[in-house]
Structure formats: C-alpha cells, structure tokens
C-alpha cells in the first residue's frame, strides 16, 4: 500500500496532493454540517455518508482546480480558514450561510463581532491557517508533468459531473451547505438586491379610505392544507382555539401555485388567473395601504427570497426572525418568537396599521416548528426520511405544527380583540403525504392546491360593518381562487381603489366564485 502511494506520488504528485488535501478538508469541515442532523438508525447514517461523499467531490474539484498552478494554490489556507470559521458556527449554533444572514451581517458592528470571538474560535482560525499552509509548501516542491495535469483535469471533470448531478437531482441539497453556500448565498443576495431596485408600477395612487382607525393583519400560512383543519371536517381537532374565537373558515380556496416563492407573489399582487404580469411588474397591495398613511410592517419567520423581496421592502419596517438559521434548520425556529414584535406593533400609537406576518407554520422538518409541549399527536418524526413507512409520523408532526399555529394565531387575535380589526390567514399552498406518489409541495397535486384559509373579525369590526360579516358568511363555501386575497383584504379594510375588483372580494355582494377548477373539492 505504501509502495503504491509512493508510485502514485512520483507519477501523479498533484493528483495525490489534491486527494489527500480534499479528504482532510472534508473530514474536518464537511462533517460539521451533520452534527445537528437528527439520526435514528442505520438508514440515516447511510444517507449522511452518501451526502458527505457527494459533497467531498465538490471539495475535490476545488482543490484540483486550485492545484493547477502553485500560485493559485496559495489561496487554499484562506479557503480552509474561512470554511473552518463557518464549520465552527454550524457546529455550535446550527448557523447556515444564506442571503438573509449576509443582510444582517451588514448591520453588525464590531462590538457584536467581538462577542463571538471566543478562545475556541481563535484557536480554530490559527490552526486551520497553519494546517492549510502545509499542502502549499508541498505544492511548491512539485514539478509539473503533462500526465499529472491530464489526470488532474480528468478527475476535476469527473468530480464536477458527480457534484453537479447530485445537486441538481436533489434540489440544491449540496450547494446550500457550507462551504459551497458562500457562493450560493452571495449570488442570491445580489439577485435580491437587484430585484428591490427594479422599477415596478406602484398601485398606491387614487386610493381612499373612510375608516380612520383600523388594524389589518394578513398572516401568510405555510403548507397548511385545508383538509387538515377540523372546521373543514378533519377528524383531529388541530385548530380548537381559533374556532372558539369565531374564525370563519373558507374550505375551498384554490391556489394555482404550490411553491412559496411564486404563490406569495401571486397572492400579494393584483395577479389573477387571467393576468399574471402584476407578479413581476407591479407593487403589492402594501403600497396602497402606505399611500393611505397606514403604518406597515413585515414580520417573518422565513427568510426572504428574490421573488418577494421587492414586496417585503414596500413595508415601513421588516423583521426576520433568526435569519442565521435556514428554513430547513434542525433547530427550533418557533412562530411564537414573532409575538413580541407583533404585540409591540399592534399596540403602537398609529391609528391605521397593516401587519404582514409570514409564518414557518407547516414548513418541512415539522418538528422544528412546535415546542415539545405541543407534541400531542404521537409518535412524531425521528428523522428526515420522506417515505411511506414514515408517513404516519410525518402526519403526526405536521398536525402538531398546526396545533401550534392555532395557538400563535389565538395569541395574535388576543391582542386585536378590543380593536377595530380583521385578520386573514391564507396558507401559500397545501402539502402532499404520498398522494399521487408525491411528497411535501411544489408538485401541483390537488391537496397542495387547496390551502387552509380563514378570516377573523373583531366585535368592533362586526358592529361597524354588519353587512360585511353577513356577506362573508354567505360566500365562505364558494370556490375561490387565491387571487381573491388582494381584493378581499383591501375591500375588507374599507379601502376604495380603482384596482379592486369587487367580484373577487368575499366581503362584496358582487362576489362571484371561481368558474374554472370547481372540480377541486376539499375532502
């Protein structure tokens, strides 16, 4: 064996150096990505090993490419050190590099950075840099040969093929993790900034409002399907509190999109089944509220993505909870974290307010979305494997997440109860549990196209607008396209604007149910 390596070292020193460097790097740095990963049994371990191996090919590619010249290889200690720092934060705090984190780092001052500069971190910085220098010294001793360069390039192409294919087939699973996430997050960050700067047509002009005091809340739910709510006939009581509080369920809402990024833009803008252009060219309804002197806020428990970053930025202020954790994190990232921000805002002195609350709700890896005290339905998920054998546990965890959403919403409603207020909840899409062989979302199945939706009106609101609550009762079982949200929220806020289509507002006598897709029925 020793002889074999000696031979290879003689004939192909660059290839061998790259292989050893990449292996050492992967063993030390990549492994940190899996420390917080839930493991339960041999299957999970095999999955992690395969994932690690595919990522190793990415690191092998980087070292091979750097190794083509001894000068470019001097960058290796820097790459190793930066990756070491990220690995430390991943291991200690389950931090992931994403565009929201880059945004928040921009506003971090040096004083805050110093708090993180602990002794273990300093030691890691020094050690990675020192260790990273060793292969560079070796590299300077190597003389290039043609056959070595050819083998290096062959392995580089092979590694690229493996890494690219696995990443593509498995929806970016490799590139969102450290150290590749440095590139991916920076690219996303730049795209979001570009999106915010685009010129969209602003809808705010020519709007009027009669009411001088009103609080409007739009809660964007995540992946909650209508038929998992007892108000719509589900056999488990997943939302007892808001039913008790008198929320009116709309069981037959239809969402043409089953992916957060598109669905949100569709719901928040004037886009509908006849015209999708407003998703890309116009502001959302937020600009209309702003033009009428509403105080506006976006309170999110999900990190922004390019498609709706423009819309978020229409708000006067934006709060993103724990941006350092990815939306697929293994750490708890609870919607209840948003409550202090929500309370402060709704109890503020402004007479007219609009809050957009973006929940993590029923986002995948359901266990991170509810505290242990809400694990009523048992047994819950023990690992992240998506398969029929895990289906029952998936549904239990999912329904527990819904129970927790119910609790958070009831707390929101508690702070609104004495005000002239309305709260609309609409999930961006549903979820699949193996129906039609599909899982999670973005598959366009019927269950995914039927998101949960309900509307809560305060007593003061019902007194002020008795006709609206009556009309809502009449329309609640209609088949409704999720494009109704834009028109319904504005109409429900007593706002008049040339952009409101009254036949799309469930508060209006002119309301007409969706003509297409009426075959969609919640079961």
Which residues form the interface with Zn ion (CB under 5 A)?
Answer: 222, 260, 428
Residue closer to Zn ion (CB basis): 282 or 428: 428
CB of 258 to Zn ion, least distance (A): 8
CB of 429 to Zn ion, least distance (A): 5
Residue closer to Zn ion (CB basis): 25 or 364: 364
Our measurement of the distance from residue 440's CA atom to the centroid of its chain's CA atoms, rounded to an integer in Å, reads 14
Q: How many helices (H) and strands (E) does the chain have?
A: 19, 13
Distance (Å, whole) CA 184 – CA 341: 30
CB of 361 to Zn ion, least distance (A): 8
CB of 428 to Zn ion, least distance (A): 4
CB of 357 to Zn ion, least distance (A): 14
Closest CA to 25 of 183, 132, 153: 132
Residue closer to Zn ion (CB basis): 153 or 442: 442
Closest CA to 385 of 343, 318, 439, 432: 439
CB of 50 to Zn ion, least distance (A): 27
Residue closer to Zn ion (CB basis): 431 or 493: 431
Phi, psi of 282, rounded to the nearest 5 degrees: -125, 165
Tokens of 124: 């890691």
Please answer whether residues 375 and 30 qualify as being in contact, where contact means their C-beta atoms are separated by less than 8 angstroms: no
CB of 85 to Zn ion, least distance (A): 32
Paired strand residues for 439: 433
Residue closer to Zn ion (CB basis): 222 or 272: 222
The H or E element that residue 189 is part of is: helix 181-197
Closest CA to 66 of 156, 150, 126, 185: 156
Question: What is the SS3 assignment for 202-251?
Answer: CCCCCCEECCCCEEEEEEEECCCEHHHCHHHCCCCCCCHHHHHCCCEECC
Residue closer to Zn ion (CB basis): 260 or 405: 260
Q: Up-side HSE of residue 117: CA atoms within 13 Å toward CB?
A: 6
CB of 266 to Zn ion, least distance (A): 12
Closest CA to 58 of 96, 28, 30, 37: 30
Question: What is the SS3 assignment for 106-175?
Answer: HCCCHHHHHHHCCHHHHHHHHHHHHHHHHHHHHHHHCCCCHHHHHHHHHHHHHHHHHHHHHHHHCCCCCC
Three-class secondary structure of residue 473 per DSSP: helix
Q: What share of the chain is helix, strand, coil (3-state, %, to 5)?
A: 50, 10, 35
Residue closer to Zn ion (CB basis): 219 or 288: 219
Residue closer to Zn ion (CB basis): 260 or 400: 260
Phi-psi region of 496 (alpha: psi -120 to 50; beta: other; left: phi over 0): beta
Residue closer to Zn ion (CB basis): 260 or 291: 260
CB of 268 to Zn ion, least distance (A): 13
CB of 187 to Zn ion, least distance (A): 22
CB of 449 to Zn ion, least distance (A): 13
What are the residues whose beta carbons fall under 8 Å from the beta carbon of 497, sequence distance 6 or more? Answer: 203, 206, 207, 208, 288, 490
CB of 226 to Zn ion, least distance (A): 15
Distance (Å, whole) CA 40 – CA 404: 25
In order of 41, 86, 242, 369, 381, the CA distances from 485 in angstroms are 45, 41, 20, 25, 34
Paired strand residues for 425: 219, 454
Residue closer to Zn ion (CB basis): 22 or 299: 299
Which residue, judged by CB position, is nearest to Zn ion in the bound state? 260
Residue closer to Zn ion (CB basis): 192 or 428: 428
Residue closer to Zn ion (CB basis): 260 or 504: 260
Phi, psi of 381, rounded to the nearest 5 degrees: -60, 140
CB of 220 to Zn ion, least distance (A): 9
Tokens of 35: 């420390």
Residue closer to Zn ion (CB basis): 59 or 312: 312
């Amino acid at each position: 064996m020793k002889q074999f390596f000696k031979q290879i070292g003689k004939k192909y020193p660059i290839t061998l150096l790259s292989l050893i460097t990449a292996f050492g790097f992967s063993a030390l740095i990549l492994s940190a990505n899996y420390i917080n990963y839930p493991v339960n049994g041999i299957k999970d371990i095999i999955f992690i090993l395969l994932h690690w191996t595919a990522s190793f090919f990415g690191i092998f590619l980087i070292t091979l490419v750097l190794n083509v010249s001894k000068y470019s290889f001097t960058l290796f200690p820097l790459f190793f050190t930066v990756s070491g720092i990220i690995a430390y934060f991943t291991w200690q705090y389950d931090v992931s590099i994403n565009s929201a984190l880059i945004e928040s780092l921009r506003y971090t001052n040096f004083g805050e950075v110093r708090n993180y500069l602990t002794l273990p971190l300093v030691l890691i910085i020094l050690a990675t840099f020192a260790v990273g220098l060793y292969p560079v010294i070796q590299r300077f001793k190597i003389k290039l040969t043609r056959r070595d360069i050819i083998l290096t390039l062959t392995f580089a192409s092979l590694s690229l093929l493996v890494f690219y294919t696995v990443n593509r087939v498995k929806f970016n699973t490799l590139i969102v993790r450290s150290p590749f996430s440095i590139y991916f997050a920076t690219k996303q960050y730049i795209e979001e900034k570009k999106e915010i700067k685009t010129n969209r047509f602003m809808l705010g002009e020519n709007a009027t409002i009669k009411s001088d005091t009103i609080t409007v809340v739009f809660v964007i739910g995540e992946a909650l399907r209508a038929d998992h709510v007892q108000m719509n006939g589900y056999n488990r009581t997943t939302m007892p509190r808001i039913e008790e509080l008198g929320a009116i369920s709309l069981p037959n809402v239809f969402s043409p999109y089953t992916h957060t990024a598109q669905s949100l833009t569709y719901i928040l803008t004037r886009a509908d089944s006849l015209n999708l252009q407003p998703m890309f060219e116009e502001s959302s309804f937020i600009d209309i509220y702003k033009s009428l002197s509403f105080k506006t806020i976006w309170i999110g428990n999900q990190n922004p993505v390019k498609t709706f970053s423009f819309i978020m930025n229409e708000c006067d202020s934006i709060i993103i909870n724990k941006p350092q954790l990815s939306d697929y994190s293994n750490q708890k990232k609870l919607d209840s974290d948003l409550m202090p921000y929500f309370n402060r805002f709704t109890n503020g002195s402004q007479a007219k307010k609009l809050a957009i609350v973006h929940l993590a709700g029923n986002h995948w890896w359901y266990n991170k979305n509810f505290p242990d005290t809400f694990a009523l339905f048992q047994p819950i998920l023990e690992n992240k494997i998506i398969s029929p054998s895990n289906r029952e546990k998936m549904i239990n965890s999912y329904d527990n997440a819904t129970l927790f959403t119910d609790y958070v919403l009831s707390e929101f409603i508690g702070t609104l109860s004495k005000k002239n207020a309305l709260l609309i909840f609409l999930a961006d899409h549903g979820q699949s549990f193996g129906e039609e062989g599909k899982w999670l979302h973005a598959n366009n199945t019927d269950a995914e196209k039927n998101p949960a939706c309900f509307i809560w009106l305060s007593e003061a609101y019902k007194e002020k607008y008795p006709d609206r609550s009556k009309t809502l009762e009449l329309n609640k079982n209609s088949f409704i396209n999720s494009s109704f949200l834009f028109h319904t929220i504005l109409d429900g806020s007593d706002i008049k604007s040339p952009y409101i289509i009254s036949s799309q507002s469930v508060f209006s006598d002119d309301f007409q149910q969706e003509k297409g897709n009426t075959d969609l029925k919640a079961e």
